[in-house]
Amino acid sequence: ETRPIPEPGPNEVLLRMHSVGICGSDVHYWQHGRIGDFVVKHPMVLGHEASGTVVKVGSGVTHLKPGDRVAIEPGVPREMDEFCKIGRYNLSPTIFFCATPPDDGNLCRYYKHSASYCYKLPDNVTFEEGALIEPLSVGIHACKRAGVTLGSKVFVSGSGPIGLVNVIVAKMMGAAAVVVTDLSASRLQKAKEVGADFIIQVKNETPQEVASKVEGVLGCMPDITVECTGVQTCIQAGIYATRSGGTLVLVGLGPEMVTVPIVNAAVREVDIRGIFRYCNTWPVAIALLASKRINVKPLVTHRFPLEKALEAFETTKRGEGVKVMLKCDPTDQSP
């Protein structure tokens, strides 16, 4: 389908898109047409991990100009409600979010977006790094919600893209040791590459056995568990593994109803927290990337031009590599 190039409103910018990462949620919408209560009822553009170049600015935009390279935060509040007032705009029930029905995403040549949610990239931060700020933001938000701090012992369940960004951020925030579990040996090696101290390949162990293995490699129970799979047995292992008085953050989304040892968590005062996307993370991420304090480049394992989007989605669906990146601008020859 060919869409006309959109015209930016007074507080919007028109972007020529450059790099767009494929997320598991994009694949899920493509394959199943819905995630929970979000149902695809009309044709929808996918993509929400993105960066591009400003080509036109609205009349009210003063902080950006044509030619600026920007990273795009996909969630934009539509109104100043109670959640926006307390700085938790990600919880606003009316928020616009790229590629969440009925809102179109930005996997396209040209895209318009709220200028306030486009962040200028420093010269030493690449377009791909800019696109990776979106998944990186999940790690920043999760680790902040978890209270990771100097000396924390952290258990990350799952070594997909979101597990990996949580490893990177936890180490950046001062974690003394991070252990990662996964079924895939290759993904666990990627976790080691980005900073994990210990890896455990899970096969058919019980949740209690997984918890015991985590304690064994750390030498103690972790203060914090970041659960990135959404799998029932992994959530159970997260509860059993976390030390009394510690925190379990649920990042991965699985079935609506799961059976968990809630009494075990209750009597040991294990705090269970959820996260929903992120908020106030783009400036932090850009500062970390510009200062070279973190390195997200190893996350990108596959690259495709926009014309091969179907091949890129099939690659992601098969679980190959880690992060698949689409390049939308055929005139740009940068790596």
Instruction: Please report the pLDDT score of residue 309 as a whole number.
Output: 96
Query: How many whole angstroms separate alpha carbon 170 and alpha carbon 251?
Result: 14
Same domain membership, residue 144 and residue 114: no
Same domain membership, residue 307 and residue 187: no
Tell me the one-letter amino acid at 27: V
CATH number at residue 36: 3.90.180.10
Instruction: Please report the pLDDT score of residue 335 as a whole number.
Output: 46
Instruction: Please report the pLDDT score of residue 72 as a whole number.
Output: 98
Same domain membership, residue 171 and residue 60: no
Judge whether 250 lies within some domain.
yes
Query: For 118-135, what is each residue's pLDDT tens digit?
Result: 999 999 999 999 999 999
Contact in structure between 202 and 184 (CB atoms under 8 Å): no
Same domain membership, residue 149 and residue 109: no
Judge whether 128 lies within some domain.
no
Same domain membership, residue 182 and residue 226: yes
Same domain membership, residue 205 and residue 163: yes
Judge whether 131 lies within some domain.
no
Instruction: Please report the pLDDT score of residue 1 as a whole number.
Output: 55
Judge whether 3 lies within some domain.
no
Tally of domains in the chain = 2
Same domain membership, residue 217 and residue 185: yes
Same domain membership, residue 260 and residue 146: yes
Task: Mention every residue, 6+ apart, whose C-beta is less than 8 A from residue 66.
Answer: 54, 55, 56, 57
Judge whether 133 lies within some domain.
no
Domain assignment of residue 267, given as a range? 140-274
Residue 19 backbone zone (phi > 0: left; psi -120 to 50: alpha; other: beta): beta
Contact in structure between 165 and 143 (CB atoms under 8 Å): no
Provide the whole-model pTM: 0.96
First vs last C-alpha separation in the chain: 28
Query: For 145-159, what is each residue's pLDDT tens digit?
Result: 999 999 999 999 999
Instruction: Please report the pLDDT score of residue 174 as a whole number.
Output: 98
Torsion sign (Cα): 185, 186, 192, 195: negative
Query: For 53-109, what is each residue's pLDDT tens digit?
Result: 999 999 999 999 999 999 999 999 999 999 999 999 999 999 999 999 999 999 999
Judge whether 1 lies within some domain.
no
Same domain membership, residue 305 and residue 248: no
CATH number at residue 218: 3.40.50.720
All residue ranges of the chain with pLDDT < 50 are 335
Same domain membership, residue 147 and residue 89: no
Judge whether 126 lies within some domain.
no
Same domain membership, residue 321 and residue 243: no
Query: How many whole angstroms separate alpha carbon 302 and alpha carbon 178?
Result: 26
Same domain membership, residue 309 and residue 255: no
**Residues forming beta bridges with residue 227, ordered by sequence position:** 157, 250
Judge whether 7 lies within some domain.
no
What are the helix (H) ranges across 147-261?
161-172, 185-193, 207-218, 232-241
